[in-house]
Amino acid sequence: MQNLFRMLTLIYAHPYPLHSRVNRALRQAVDGLSGIRTRDLYALYPDFHIDVAAEQSALAESETIVLQHPMRWYHTPALLSLWFEKVLAYGWAYGHDGAGQHARALQGKRLLWAVTAGGSQTAYSASGYNQHTVHEMAAPIRQTALYCGMEWLEPHVLYGTGQLDAVALARAAQDYRGRLVQLLGEKA
Amino acid sequence: MQNLFRMLTLIYAHPYPLHSRVNRALRQAVDGLSGIRTRDLYALYPDFHIDVAAEQSALAESETIVLQHPMRWYHTPALLSLWFEKVLAYGWAYGHDGAGQHARALQGKRLLWAVTAGGSQTAYSASGYNQHTVHEMAAPIRQTALYCGMEWLEPHVLYGTGQLDAVALARAAQDYRGRLVQLLGEKA
């Protein structure tokens, strides 16, 4: 009966995993949940040579894909940018395959963007020092998902990571776990 | 009297330079202009190991910085994302340096985003298949410039690169040259 429920691939992209406090705590809160498989991009590909077939295979077997990373210059860390370029390839995620058929490997899958931001929610507003909301910053990522026919879920955003004390971080980690548990529990 | 006029660094980022038609033509139209120095990121750093000191030095000597690249998933190619992370470093582009002083190496410099897009301008609209304008897609890049205290110039966008015939491409290359000549000619 397992395949009535969702399989979830967590794409984890922290450029300096040993220095991570917040993303590591979030990840630890969900590692080992039934149905989750985590791919730690910077651990797998420290030289930026992505195994495209392995990545595509993991995505093909999942109904839900989570991109978890800290914001880097208002976008993804560079290795995740490269992952978009290499893995979401013409002839697989979009366009036409070798047989002339529409390539839609990700069609109908759900994408959750789980991002942590150093700035507060106030900083991410028209009057804040970042001048844009996180929703506005997400335009390239959201449209990438939509272009591939994926369902864009409401992002999971954790603000003010530099100010989080241990209690707030533990609560944030449980919130994240709750969100993923919910996604895993919904029938496909 | 040379330093009355602008020095311009062109950061060129095409992931497959040998397969470039449009960006190569644009670049050739401006290469050799007086005051321009081009840094071809994929030629310089095929292994993604960026020489941060060399990049910072080039920027420090320039009043105008141009980022020229094809759109990749509605953002920059991955090596340019990495360049943002490594070159626009804490303690140099923002934050505080080792002596506790505000680090503002890029303060007051002008940034021109020169991007080519496969889609038409119609495709980049709320009703088009990309659902967002290029201005909306630019939010992370624009805010990166503003965060570093740079002046964000009106972007130079070339749409519909797949449909450009030789005449249209030659015209686009001259338009680009004209824009950069104008920027170079303005007194600092």
Neighbours of A8 (CB within 10 A): 22
* Tokens found for residue B187: 């007194």
Res A6: pLDDT: 78
Percent of chain B, pLDDT > 90?
91
pLDDT band at A50 (very low <50, low <70, confident <90, very high): very high
State both tokens at B98. 């080792």
pLDDT at B3: 55
Place of tokens 């989750």: A36
Tell the residue number behind the tokens 């095929």, with chain if given: B46
Across A62-70, average pLDDT = 97
Please state the φ and ψ torsions of residue B151, each to the nearest 5 degrees.
-90, 125
In this predicted structure, the answer to whether residue B2 has a pLDDT above a threshold of 60 is: no
- Flag whether the pTM goes above 0.90: yes
pLDDT of residue A1: 44
Task: Please list every residue in chain A whose beta carbon sits closer than 8 Å to the beta carbon of residue B67.
Answer: none
What DSSP state is assigned to residue A120? Answer: -
| In the block, residue with structure tokens 């750093």 | B45
- Is the pLDDT at A17 greater than 90? The verdict is no
This model of the complex carries an ipTM of 0.95
Contact A74 B143 (CB under 8 A): yes
Alpha-carbon Rg for chain A, nearest whole angstrom, is: 17
Average pLDDT over residues B65-94: 98
Chain B residue with the nearest C-alpha to that of A86: B78
C-alpha torsion sign, points B146, B149, B150, B151: positive
Is the pLDDT at A3 greater than 90? The verdict is no
When pLDDT is cut at 50, 70 and 90, the band that residue A124 belongs to is: very high
| pLDDT surpasses 80 at A187 | no
Burial of residue B30, with CB atoms counted within 10 A of its CB: 0-12 exposed, 13-18 middle, 19 or more buried: buried
Cα(B138)–Cα(B118) distance, rounded to whole angstroms? Answer: 16
Distance CA A156, CA A114 (A): 5
Instruction: State whether B140 and A140 contact (CB < 8 Å).
Output: yes
User: What residues of B are in the A interface, CB distance below 8 Å?
Assistant: 15, 47-48, 72-79, 81-82, 84-85, 88, 129-132, 136-137, 139-141, 143-144, 146-147
- Residue A74's identity, in one-letter code, is Y
Query: Tell me, what's the pLDDT at B1?
Result: 44
Average pLDDT over residues A68-85: 98
On average, the pLDDT of chain A sits at 95
Calculate the alpha carbon distances from B133 to A50, A77, A109, A124, B68 in Å: 30, 23, 25, 20, 18
Cross-chain CB nearest to B139 (options A72, A77, A137): A137
- Mean pLDDT over B9-18 rounds to 95
Rounded Cα distance between B164 and A33, Å, is 51
* pLDDT > 70: percent of chain A: 96
| Spatial CB neighbours of B119, under 8 Å, sequence gap ≥ 6 | B128, B129, B130, B159, B160
Residue A4's pLDDT is what? 57
CATH superfamily entry for domain B2-185: Flavodoxin domain (3.40.50.360)
Residues B129-149 pLDDT 10s: 999 999 999 999 999 999 999
